[in-house]
Structure 1
Amino acid sequence: MSKVLVIESSARQQGSISRQLTDEFIAQWQKTHPNDEVSVRDLAQQPVPHLDEVLLGGWMKPADQQSEAEQAALARSNTLTDELLAADVLVLAAPMYNFAIPSTLKAWLDHVLRAGVTFKYTETGPQGLLSDKRAYVLTARGGIYAGSSLDHQEPYLRQALGFIGIHDVSFIHAEGLNLGAEFFEKGLAQAKTRLAEVA
């Protein structure tokens, strides 16, 4: 049995295409992996604070020198990191906001990309510690950006995930969603076909 961790980052609860893709992925995955455990963290309903001095204090100060706020920030970061460490499969649902990922997803990444936990520094440079995991990234985009210089989602997420050792990453893009009904239907259908293949 594998553990699947799904991270939702759309600001919308209703009418969200990335959430629709997530629902489709989970349904397809459970059909082919009925014994797997799927958990969902919704960053819109449970926002993660952005990286700040309090969290840095929780990471860097000895326990007996931490304030209550720093201890709480560290505990929150530990919870998020423990969820990731326990997962075999990571699913990131990421609508495109202003050519990139939602700030909520960036905040989550800032909590889980942690030296000594998900990566370590070596004499030859940083080394990711999560090489036993695979990831799927489900994106929803108003235009068509894959492979273009305006796509700041896929390159960034590949680098961030690769930095912690996750190199087996599949991207499923639903594109052209704001270009009219024909593009919308085509983009969504292509994404759902791809979801069925990878699940």
Structure 2
Amino acid sequence: MIGLGVWQLDRRAEKAAMIARYAGNRARPVMAFPNPPIGDEHLFRRASAMCLEVVGWSEQAGRAENGAKGWRHIAECRTGIEALTVKFDMGVSTAPGVAPVWKGGEVTGAITHAPDATPLLAGLFGKRPPRTLMLVAEKPAPGLAESARPDPSSVPNNHLAYAVQWFLFALAAVVIYVLALRWRGRKVKSE
């Protein structure tokens, strides 16, 4: 358990470096959206891509840049001749079921993870493939409010709390062990 606590302290430093790298991505110049859009090295960086044709829309609970809660509208777009599609968060509406009128075009925005339907337990115990990326558009589709921009400060770094938890588990195990030895010693003396 102590080893797990030390490991969590090491992970804390790694996570802090990763968050700093993501924060640095925000200051880098606009890049072409990665093709295919997977991997985390470009998270939070500004990128642009061309949506040639919207092939589908999905809705998900979200938050607008002004803090209002609503439904974010994610366009799945064809980006070229190949069968590759890319997801674009095109903005937030205050009610579900709004049908955006946006048909495609150039999109510039911040890179973040696209929503996926992998169950939490499957992600914890199964081998999870790299998460797909999407762009959160800086300019929303007509009739929608701008989605909240992805922020590196939202990436949790709770490894210190995990380390403390493991150290407390180790301490509890030592206390239980000492109490068991004392109880066993008293039992031997009484016989």
TM-score tier by shorter-chain length is under 0.3
- Which has the larger share of strand? 2
Larger radius of gyration: 2
TM-score of the aligned structures, taking structure 2 as reference length: 0.25
- Which has the larger share of helix? 1
